[in-house]
Amino acid sequence: MYEGAVQELIDELGRLPGVGPKSAQRIAFHILEADPEDMKRLATSITTVKERVQFCEICGNVTEEATCSICRDTRRDPSVICVVEESKDVIAVERTRSFKGRYHVLGGSINPIAGIGPEQLRIRELMTRLSDEQIQEIIIATDPNLEGEATATYLGRLLQSIGVTVSRLASGLPVGGDLEYADEVTLGRAFEGRRSVSS
């Protein structure tokens, strides 16, 4: 155990995703030895992001205004919504340049053991959008892993009765992985070959 402030920093860093106690200690000592101006910039960007960035009122994507740039863009097709787990998946799909509609960010996937059910995700907000907007197609682009598949299954069942076309990205995506690691070509192809989930 270190004294006061150092230990506090190690504890805080250790709470970040993917940072174990050893890495936390290494990063803390890097910060201690680094140029004060550099570290001030880091601290400021953390403060700024927490003050300025929020979630889009419509789709849940990260934004610095009430709604995100994609929802504000009138050139985007308002009749198609691509449902993704997280904001970083919006970036992954945008990279493919094969999707011109809008998004809905769920905030994760259904994971009962972790205490995350449909209620903990932005599913109710999606249903509200469906009743307000002129949406004709929903493309489910959750991660091609087990939790993502189960979430797609749940959404497919829920949306079935509503009278919109529901499709899931084609199985060309390798299973087991995260959407963000799929390359543009593969992901683009998965979009082109999406299959309807109407059963």
Residues that bind Zn ion (CB under 5 A): 56, 58-59, 61, 68, 71
User: What token pair was written down for 92?
Assistant: 């992954």
Q: Which does 178 bind (CB under 5 to 8 A by kind): Zn ion, another protein, none?
A: another protein
CB-wise, 56 or 92, nearer to another protein?
92
Q: Which does 59 bind (CB under 5 to 8 A by kind): Zn ion, another protein, none?
A: Zn ion
Q: Are strands 165-168 and 195-196 parallel, antiparallel or unpaired?
A: antiparallel
Q: Which does 145 bind (CB under 5 to 8 A by kind): Zn ion, another protein, none?
A: another protein
Q: Does residue 79 contact residue 136 with C-beta atoms inside 8 Å?
A: yes
Q: Which does 120 bind (CB under 5 to 8 A by kind): Zn ion, another protein, none?
A: none
Q: Are strands 102-105 and 80-84 parallel, antiparallel or unpaired?
A: parallel
Gap between the Cα atoms of 69 and 149, Å rounded: 28
Query: Within 13 Å, how many C-alpha atoms sit on residue 51's CB side?
Result: 6
Shortest Cβ distance from residue 186 to another protein (Å)?
Answer: 7
CB-wise, 101 or 143, nearer to another protein?
143
CB-wise, 125 or 178, nearer to another protein?
178
Q: Report how far apart, in Å, the C-alpha atoms of 71 and of each of 21, 79, 102 are.
A: 40, 12, 7
Residues that bind another protein (CB under 8 A): 17-18, 110-115, 117, 144-147, 149-150, 153-154, 157, 173-178, 181-183, 186
